[in-house]
Structure 1
Amino acid sequence: MINSISLTNRKEQRFRSLAFLTVILIYLVILAGGIVRSTGSGMGCPDWPKCFGRWVPPTEISQLPANYQEIYGAKLKGEVTFNAVKTWIEYANRLLGVLSGFFVLATLIASLTYLRKDNTIVWGSIAALLLIGANGWLGSRVVATELAHYMITIHMFLAIAVAFALLFILVRSNAARLTVERLGITSQRWLLVVALSLTLGQIILGTQVRDSLDEVVKQLGYAQRDNWISNLNWQFYIHRSFSLVLLVFHLVVIYQLRKLTTVGWLANLTKALISVVVIEIGTGVLMAYFGVPAIAQPIHLLLALVMVGLQFSIWLLLTPAMLVSNHRYKESRLVEV
């Protein structure tokens, strides 16, 4: 019996480790997507799933047919000649996407150890696999629509949904390490819901700013990077101003969360949240006043999505009914042991 329990514990620990690594990989895919966008490499591979008709992309123009511009010209988005750097940036993004799919599949297989103990974890893993499969297909549609802005936005939000599914099973699988005491935490949960909604709204507005920036870049070119911001429309100024509103609101959220506990998971995630908010605003300032450096754009996006992931995870911790299916976890204050 002891050996059986020990084996089960090891399997569960492997699952938690794998789920955590898969979450990290999903965020790396998001970062890679941001790099693709900031470098203008979205059509570095003008076809899908192959790249210039090859499973291994070309590294130099001599590996392409002489009439490649005639074949792919309509999709090269202004690239007069083959650009190996952009091609491999886009292809690396695709490879990371495929790798993340395998990790999600492995997470699902590993979750079967919870089939009798808590099948919600298995269903969450299935949801993550279906979502990442749908997002992989959507990636092909992004290429097919030649980087239509609305498709890119949907692609990003589906990636958030994948991250949420994985975060749910990761937090839930650690529920055995948490106990709950009677004490109302309804107000903190609602604050997290509002914070999550406001942040998602800010992200949507940010995608609109990014679309406007794309148009400015087409008009001015990369040589006039310092003039990009001054040519943006009203959406940028609302996006910039609203970041201060988010900062103030998050300070209120942090204050309320710190009332619950100063140690353990909740405290650590709370500290991480305020750090990410501050750094996120810092990268926004960097882009607004220092010529939109290319490295800042994908980091800015990544931090925004890490922020909503932290908000969602904290909300789960404050919602015991979302963590376990039995009644010994009651709706109240979280205390960690």
Structure 2
Amino acid sequence: MPDTIAPPASSTRSDRLQPVFGRPLRVLAWLSFLAEVIIIGTGGAVRLTGSGLGCSEWPLCTPESLVPIYEVQGVHGIIEFANRTMTGVVGLLALAVLLLTLGAVGGRALVMRAVWFAVGGIAAGLAAYFITDPFGLPAFGFLSGALLVSVLVAAVDSVRRAERRRDLVVLAWIVLAGVMAQAVVGGLAVITDLNAFIVGFHYASSLLLVCVTAAYLVRMHDPAGPRVRAVPRWFAILSHVTGLALAATIFFGVLTTGSGPHSGDANVIRDGFDATVLAHVHSWPGYILAALVAALMVSAWMLRLEPRRWLLVLAIAIAVQIAVGVWQAREGLPEILVGIHMVLASLTAAAYTVVVLRLKRVRSADA
């Protein structure tokens, strides 16, 4: 049978039943996306300036102080604390997007249920802290765990009760839970003296949150309803194969950086994988990725498929990434180029996320 593609969706009476996402939510959703990208840059700055242990404790900066003491820690403490502060900004934006989303899809009742879960989580967290602290246990870890569990329970409750746009409710909860989990992972990175695998996981998780916030932006502008394939089957399969190549490129990139000279602190020595060998291994899936994206882009424009414009954006991003990667390798990994490479990787992943979401469209009422 010939490959069929769904026709564009048409307007129906059900459009009037769609929740209205006002300007504040749209602005905050964009700010949330930008903040997730920026925190990758600030996290990279911490690592590339050797400030990873600028704050020796977590969640305090020093055993006696929440904020850095310049006379003791110097500029490294300020850089590390600035990144921790950025985590708070990211979290507040994620919370604001979540509450406005719940209000748009479920009204005040859904918002208040989430608030009560939050109150319960805070109470449980404080109880866990005061119970474990006298025994010398990681009290802040138990507090964070209790808060995270309350968020997960609240998320399940909200998704079950939301009758409209559950996709956006899920995405908003993922971002908030992810930010909270990221704070804990960042603390583990400090406690373990910047273990390369934990630091790498911290970066990869941040990159995934960039993709989730990008997905929220796309889905917020799309109408609700069953989604059907908008491209030929072979194109969809090749697009997902391209995603595997992108994931492999990022994975080996994280391993390469974890074995390179930018450990995050002058006293932390990386003695794991051979960074020189990994740099070449990292480039192989990168070149495969570039070839796959080029093939998809040409095909999409020839067939006038929906993802063609975003494939052009993705192709440009990958071309710049390759150029920066080659440049930094030849220049001995200067800090500024490594930082640019890290941020561009997140934007590349975000562009790919949009491409994947454009492989389908909402099914029209007369389809």
TM-score by length of structure 2 reads 0.70
Matched residue SS, 1:128: helix
Map 1:165-180 to 2 at 5 A: 165-176=212-223
Given candidates 189, 197, 217, the residue that maps to 1:150 is 197
Residues 259-314 of structure 1: CA deviation (Å, up to 9, x unaligned): 3538xx84442222111111111111111111211101111011112111111111
Report the alpha carbon displacement of residue 46 of structure 1 after superposing the two structures with TM.
0.9
Given candidates 14, 19, 36, the residue that maps to 2:29 is 19
Report the alpha carbon displacement of residue 316 of structure 1 after superposing the two structures with TM.
0.8
- Residue 55 of structure 1 is matched in structure 2 by 66
Given candidates 35, 40, 54, the residue that maps to 1:44 is 54
Could you tell me which runs of 5 or more consecutive residues in structure 1 were left unpaired when the two chains were aligned.
62-81, 222-230, 331-337
Matched residue SS, 1:214: coil
The whole-number CA distance in structure 1 between the counterparts of 2:245 and 2:198 is 22
Matched residue SS, 2:333: coil
* Mean CA deviation greater in 176-185 or 138-147: 176-185
Structure-2 change in CA distance of 1:85 and 1:191 (3 Å): farther
Given candidates 176, 183, 195, the residue that maps to 1:136 is 183
Structure-2 change in CA distance of 1:328 and 1:132 (3 Å): farther
The whole-number CA distance in structure 1 between the counterparts of 2:263 and 2:32 is 36
Structure-2 change in CA distance of 1:183 and 1:165 (3 Å): closer
- Residue 79 of structure 1 is matched in structure 2 by none
* Mean CA deviation greater in 26-35 or 169-178: 169-178
- Residue 72 of structure 1 is matched in structure 2 by none
Indicate if the aligned counterparts of 2:51 and 2:77 stay in contact, CA closer than 8 A: yes
Matched residue SS, 2:36: helix
- Residue 114 of structure 1 is matched in structure 2 by 105
* Mean CA deviation greater in 39-48 or 14-23: 14-23
Residues 96-133 of structure 1: CA deviation (Å, up to 9, x unaligned): 11110110000001112023542321222112211211
1:96 equivalent to 2:86? Answer yes
Structure-2 change in CA distance of 1:36 and 1:329 (3 Å): farther
Could you tell me which runs of 5 or more consecutive residues in structure 2 were left unpaired when the two chains were aligned.
1-15, 107-162, 269-273
The whole-number CA distance in structure 1 between the counterparts of 2:53 and 2:315 is 36
Amino acid in the other structure paired with 1:86: H
The whole-number CA distance in structure 1 between the counterparts of 2:257 and 2:172 is 32
Report the alpha carbon displacement of residue 184 of structure 1 after superposing the two structures with TM.
4.0
Structure-2 change in CA distance of 1:110 and 1:261 (3 Å): farther
Amino acid in the other structure paired with 1:114: V
The whole-number CA distance in structure 1 between the counterparts of 2:366 and 2:61 is 51
Report the alpha carbon displacement of residue 16 of structure 1 after superposing the two structures with TM.
2.4
The whole-number CA distance in structure 2 between the counterparts of 1:329 and 1:306 is 37
The percentage of counterpart residues that share the same residue type is: 23
Report the alpha carbon displacement of residue 329 of structure 1 after superposing the two structures with TM.
9.5
Report the alpha carbon displacement of residue 177 of structure 1 after superposing the two structures with TM.
10
TM-score by length of structure 1 reads 0.76
User: How many equivalent residue pairs?
Assistant: 288
